Amino acid sequence: MANSSRDLIRTVRSSIRARTAFWQTDVMTDETERPSLPNVDDLVVGVLGGTGEQGRGLALRLAVAGQPVILGSRSAERAQAIADEMGRGVRGVTNAECAAQADVVIVAVPWDGHAQLLQELAEELADTIVIDCVNPLGFDKQGAFALSVEHGSAAQQAAALLPKSRVTAAFHHISAVLLLDEAVTSIDTDVLVLGDDREATDICQALAGRIPGIRGIYAGRLRNAHQVEAMTANLISVNRRYKVHAGIRVTDV
């Protein structure tokens, strides 16, 4: 009995030492180190609204990074024409084909067409990770302002319309001007990623990190997407006042 007790004590002490060593190692690592993210190099990324400036810019940057990319549009011919300009293996198809063929789909369509398009593509997007980057904004003489959305945000509307999809929200605050300018080799900004599916948000963060200079930062559940979408109006005001293409950086992460 005494030997068993001593063995148990040794086992417990060994466990404590192992945990302490792990903790010390973790504390002593570089302060910028974050949990590892999945390898997304081979995932096919589709961009709905891929012929608009934001969609085109995101598609270009991901393609430059070596990501397989499909552009979706109402017109397959227009999508292919833009894909031909990009090169790098980018393909242009209809929105429906894009939704059906991609592993991850970025929604980059105008707000006024957001609901109708997603309703039409609900089946094609089933079981797919959907990244909504739409900002519901209005404009008047005073500038940009956030619109009220029945579901709370564009991302929450997407989740309601796509019950079989894995909806996340990201890429709201990146300047299309910078994305499309290949002379800009690094974009100094963070991408706030929101969602309720950990694997999906990890993949979204990893995709953001494929673009030089950008980090994907988890920023909460999908119910918090409204304020992230709305912040785009503030950044537009910053850009107009200071004649820049501002982004967001999260400190101490």
| pLDDT confidence band for 121 (50 / 70 / 90) | very high
**For residue range 129-156, what is the model confidence (pLDDT) as tens digits?**
999 999 999 999 999 999 999 999 999 9
**237 secondary structure, DSSP code:** H
**Tens-digit pLDDT profile for residues 188-220:** 999 999 999 999 999 999 999 999 999 999 999
- Summarize pLDDT for 41-72 with one digit per residue, the tens: 999 999 999 999 999 999 999 999 999 999 99
Query: Is the per-residue pLDDT at 33 higher than 80?
Result: no
Per-residue pLDDT at 179 exceeds 80: yes
Interior angle at CA 112, CA 109 and CA 116, nearest 5: 80
d(CA 228, CA 51): 24
> Which pLDDT band holds residue 35 (cuts at 50, 70, 90)?
confident
181: DSSP letter: -
Q: Report domain extents, the chain.
A: 45-242
d(CA 50, CA 9): 63
189-192, Cβ contacts within 8 angstroms, sequence gap of 24 or more: 189/213, 189/214, 189/247, 189/248, 189/249, 190/214, 190/215, 190/216, 190/217, 190/247, 190/248, 190/249, 190/250, 191/215, 191/216, 191/217, 192/217, 192/219, 192/228, 192/248, 192/250
The residue type found at 43 is: L
The span from the CA of 71 to the CA of 131, in Å, is 14
Q: Is 28 exposed, middle or buried (0-12, 13-18, 19+ CB in 10 A)?
A: exposed
Tell me, what's the pLDDT at 58? 98
Closest CA to 154 of 189, 187, 100, 108: 108
β pairing state of 104-107 and 91-94? unpaired
pLDDT digits (tens, 9 = 90+) for 155-175: 999 999 999 999 999 999 999
Residue 176: is its pLDDT beyond 70? yes
Q: What is the mean pLDDT of the chain?
A: 90
Q: What CATH number does the domain located at 45-242 have?
A: 3.40.50.720
* pLDDT at residue number 90: 98
pLDDT of residue 7: 52
